[in-house]
Amino acid sequence: MENKTFKTVGHPVRKKDAMSFLLGMPVYTDDITPSDCLTVKVLRSPYAHALIEEIDISTAMKVPGIECILTYKDVPQNRFTMAGQTYPEPSPYDRLILDKRLRFVGDAVAIIAGNCEKSVNKAMRLIKVKYDVLEPVLDMHTAKDNPILVHPEDDWQSLFEVGADNKRNLCSTGSRNWGDVDAVFAECDEIVEHTYHTKACQQSMMETFRTYTEIDSTGRLHVISSTQIVFHVRHILANALGIPLSKIHVEKPCVGGGFGAKQTVVAEVYPAIVTWLTKKPAKIIYTREECMTAGSPRHEMEIHVRLGATKDGSIKAIDMYTLSNAGAYGEHAPTTVDLTATKTISLYTGTLKAYRFGWDVVYTNVQGGGAFRGYGATQGSFAVESAVNEMADRLGIDPVAIREKCMVREGQLMPSYYDETASACALDRCLAKAKEIFEWDKKFPVRDMGNGKVRTAGVAMSMQGSGISAVDVGSAEIKLNEDGFYTLYIGAADMGTGCDTILAQIAAETLNCDIDKICVCKADSDTSPYDSGSYASSTTYVTGKAVEKACRKLIDKIKEFSSDILNVPPSKLNFTGSRVCTPSGESITLEHIAIRSTCFCNNALHAVCSHSSPVSPSPFMVGMAEIELDKETGSVKVCDYTAVVDCGTPVNVNLARIQAEGGIVQGIGMALYENVTYSETGHIAENSFMQYKIPTRMDIGSLNIEFESSYEESGPYGAKSIGEIVINTPSPAIAHAIHNATGVWHRELPITPEKILMSTDNID
């Protein structure tokens, strides 16, 4: 089905909370929680691997204003995971609130709570700890089966079969294949084989991790947190604290950015245990340094790609092996690794005859990884798309032409993507449109600018998913109020992406009303229907469909209610949005129906629906980057980035464009600037924005975002996702352009000016 004309969906509706932000109203966690609560901070390990032999808090406890100092002796010893994932949780239960064994520089040693930050900081300096310093495992290449174990404990637990074995430093391992890979490679005329390395990038959201906790009037733990996963926070805290779910109430205010970082319960447990033990309100706010040294960055990965093709450019076989660095803990580690292959190999279904994928995810004594926009597909895209570009170069084929020949097309089965079908796929149109508006044929050749600089271009394409098939659940409740407006209750978390507005648009479209008549209640574990959370590009596709279904169910209820008033069967009635009409022309207003429902009514006019999809339709994207490279300094400037995205029906074009622009800028940062390096003792060098460089608007040239829509029948009004796919193409496209300018393929990110100059003797 082709795109339709809708009343609300597809229009650039202003975000519902836009004026709140513009007027500086209190909307974030630190704005709306009391300033006189306990301040919570964490004393962190100075060693990558150590045991606490002795810890003396007696002097620190004498500091005026200190409420409590908690050590591993004072807190529950329940193993849990901080990963916000749906049952059955694939991430191992390998954490304690506080542990005697410390596994990375920045691991939690003690929790300090006091009535002001000054007192807490003073007490922290007075805690005396005697460490038994152990040899760490810092190199992911030597971690597997290393005699030094990151997790030697016997109560370590993996709930899901992912090949994990803590006695081998393995968080996950496995392999799968389709077709006779070796036989197909034997038929290939050209083989590209290389290893690609991506670093542990930081999400760098403006609002750091922060949580407020209190005991409410009924004795329950009330948690207000900047999170993407309200219901998972409740579950994780119940596991960690060893208390029933019914004793915990979690809500989220506005979130100042997450990008996946807040799909992990990084900070919540520390004020929660303080409040639970002291019965006093408490708050923790991470510093930027803590975010960068004890957060949940993208997993470092090394991806070996072997790609085979025939002389005409038909890609026939892909063999991948991914080594992923889980770090000290396994949050999201067993699941991110899978996407390096599933969301990349499938792009070449058009000519592919066989693939093989193997992986190892290992524990090391560095900061643990987590979820970050793209979730493994970003690392995989850099590797596979770079290999495809090199294959085109070796065969003397235009890199756009090789993709035109090999790409997946609508209706094709994708064996490497869980045997799903590309049900709605405009990738071919995305590539054609990008080539045209970017002026590929003009910009791809290397052009000498006459000032010591050259310009050229690179290309990449990408796919992602729309939620986790057969796992993610979205829910919505819609209620008709007295004067004919609606209240929409959702459990999905708006992280600044505008999902409250998107879901309100879907509701307004279904109910045939103005969006101003839809009031959205933010995620709250007490009042919202269950929702897995805002991650895996699921909100518009999964929760949006739940909203549509709930609204249609409410319309049926409204017609049933009106049937008794109009004496006409519900099936004969027509709901217009403002009225219910009979075939004869008689009608009653929605306001009249709403008021009548408040008295002598046995059927409340509200509806609740949940939705889970057996499939995860892929959005597709093509990105083309034009760069200018200075031959004397090696510096690279992105002059133009053009992207064409197939996200099904864009529910809100403005918000979709902003999503694309933000993701592309993050991808450019990953390609050129963002670096994480460790010292020989496991200390991170880039622990602030002074050292960890992210691009500003001054570093980015023209961003041109266009849409080439398909219509996904299983999505709300044909919609698919857009949140993650947009970060995947910049790094391979920019690496491709740098090769065109220098003749050198760079296979490790970021590609800095120093690397460019050191990798070639002469780039003239």
CB neighbours of 689 closer than 8 A, spacing ≥ 6?
Answer: 204, 288
Pairwise CA distance, residues 743 & 490, whole Å: 52
User: Strand 50-56's sheet: what is its strand order?
Assistant: 101-102, 50-56, 128-133
**Residue 761's pLDDT is what?**
56
Q: Could you tell me if 272 and 243 are in contact, meaning their C-beta atoms sit under 8 angstroms apart?
A: no
Cβ atoms within 10 Å, residue 65: 16
Cβ atoms within 10 Å, residue 195: 13
Which H or E run includes 507? helix 499-511
Q: Could you tell me if 20 and 26 are in contact, meaning their C-beta atoms sit under 8 angstroms apart?
A: no
DSSP designation for 165: B
**Residue 410's pLDDT is what?**
97
**Does 88 sit behind a cis peptide bond, omega within 30 degrees of 0 on the bond before it?**
yes
Tens digit of each residue's pLDDT (9 = 90 or more) over 481-527: 998 999 999 999 998 889 999 999 999 999 999 999 999 999 999 99
**Residue 659's pLDDT is what?**
95
Pairwise CA distance, residues 326 & 369, whole Å: 6
Q: Annotate 673-717 with DSSP letters as a single string.
A: T----B-TTS-BS--STTTS----GGGEEEEEEEE-----TTSGG
Pairwise CA distance, residues 304 & 463, whole Å: 20
Q: Count of residues for the chain?
A: 764
Model pTM above 0.75:
yes
Tens digit of each residue's pLDDT (9 = 90 or more) over 220-271: 999 999 999 999 999 999 999 999 999 999 999 999 999 999 999 999 999 9
Residue 577 zone, left/alpha/beta (φ > 0; ψ -120 to 50; rest): left
Pairwise CA distance, residues 306 & 256, whole Å: 41
Q: Which of 462, 468, 502 is nearest to 716 (CA)?
A: 502
Q: Answer positive or negative: Cα dihedral of 266, 270, 273, 275.
A: negative
Pairwise CA distance, residues 333 & 376, whole Å: 9
Pairwise CA distance, residues 438 & 444, whole Å: 10
Sheet strands (E) in 496-635: 518-521, 574-575, 579-581, 587-589, 606-611, 620-630
**Residue 1's pLDDT is what?**
39
User: Token pair of 44, please?
Assistant: 């962190």
Task: Characterize the bridge pairing of strands 66-70 and 38-44.
Answer: unpaired
Could you tell me the CA-to-CA distances from 723 to 369, 541, 617, 647, 719 in Å, in that order? Answer: 20, 11, 14, 9, 12
Pairwise CA distance, residues 383 & 378, whole Å: 9
Q: Residue 742, exposed/middle/buried by CB under 10 A (0-12, 13-18, 19+)?
A: buried
Could you tell me the CA-to-CA distances from 598 to 475, 481, 517 in Å, in that order? Answer: 25, 9, 19
Q: Which of 753, 722, 680, 736 is nearest to 365 (CA)?
A: 680
Q: Could you tell me if 256 and 28 are in contact, meaning their C-beta atoms sit under 8 angstroms apart?
A: yes
**Residue 687's pLDDT is what?**
96
Spans of the chain, pLDDT less than 70: 1-3, 761-764
Q: Residue 586, exposed/middle/buried by CB under 10 A (0-12, 13-18, 19+)?
A: exposed
Task: Characterize the bridge pairing of strands 413-414 and 420-421.
Answer: antiparallel
Q: What is the distance, to the nearest Å, from the Cα of residue 446 to the centroid of all Cα atoms in its chain?
A: 36
Q: Could you tell me if 735 and 750 are in contact, meaning their C-beta atoms sit under 8 angstroms apart?
A: no
